[in-house]
Amino acid sequence: MAKDITVYWGSGSPPCWRVLIALEEKKLQGYNSEMLSFEKREQKSEKVMAINPRGQFPSLKYGNYVVNESCGACFFLENQFKDQGTRLIPDCPAEQAMMYQRLFEGLAFWQKLGAVVHYEWKVPAAERHDSAVQRNRQDLTVELQLWEGYLAKGPGPFLSGKTFSLADIVVFPILAFAIRFGLKADRYPKLAAYYNALKARPSIKTTWPPTWKGSQAEDILKDI
């Protein structure tokens, strides 16, 4: 089955990383992994556009099925390979409710993080305002405090409780991205502990963004 799966992805993108973690957790090693380049704009290349008219990474094909949206791809892999590898949607209703809640909240986290880290890339120079930068940073601070609180209240150790789930797959790469961009562990000790516990997990360690190894990003978030 794994050989029927192809994923186009770019290094350092949390959405791409999610899909790679899910593939590892579902024991789908042997899939066709094509790391392409954001710098060369290969997300707009012919072979990507052929399955993904948005011209984005990740793009995932399994046989004739295409699911390019990262969360959708993770859900689809879980449903198609339910009894293989890690069960990623908890059966316990309490954990399941928490998983859905945290997973979709993760999209707000990513949006707020992106608004800070990608500001200059997203907003043309003539439209930039210090007031917007300050507001975005404040919004991200509030967001991080929410997540710090979630982990403090538990149940833990994972986002939905005792079992690793799709919520961790969606949110961990966002947190790792924040830490790479300078988020300081001493300001968010619960998030830092969660990060440190999960970064050694085989599915995560194996798929760590290759372009992050041995290089340091800017410290954009050091005062957040």
Which stretches of the chain bind a second copy, using CB under 8 A? 53-54, 62, 64-73, 75-76, 79-80, 89, 93-94, 96-97, 100-101, 103-105, 107-108, 124, 126-127, 129, 131-132, 146, 149
Contact 133, 125 (CB under 8 A): no
Cα 106–chain centre separation = 9
Q: Given the DSSP bridges, would you call strands 5-10 and 59-62 parallel, antiparallel or unpaired?
A: antiparallel
Rounded least distance, CB 100 to a second copy, Å: 3
CB-nearer residue toward a second copy: 35 or 133:
133
CB-nearer residue toward a second copy: 128 or 222:
128
Rounded least distance, CB 190 to a second copy, Å: 15
CB-nearer residue toward a second copy: 47 or 222:
47
CB-nearer residue toward a second copy: 80 or 86:
80
Rounded least distance, CB 126 to a second copy, Å: 7
CB-nearer residue toward a second copy: 62 or 177:
62
Rounded Cα distance, 175 and 53, in Å: 28
CB-nearer residue toward a second copy: 108 or 197:
108
Rounded least distance, CB 80 to a second copy, Å: 6
Residue 120's CB: how many other CB atoms inside 10 A? 11
Q: Which residues contact 120 (CB under 8 A, 6 or more apart)?
A: 128
List C-alpha distances in Å: 50 to 19, 46, 62, 80: 19, 6, 14, 23
Rounded least distance, CB 212 to a second copy, Å: 25
Rounded least distance, CB 89 to a second copy, Å: 8
Contact 147, 191 (CB under 8 A): yes
CA-closest candidate to residue 57, choices 72, 42, 71, 46: 42
Rounded Cα distance, 60 and 67, in Å: 5
Task: Measure the CA angle with vertex 175, ends 85 and 66; round to 5°.
Answer: 50
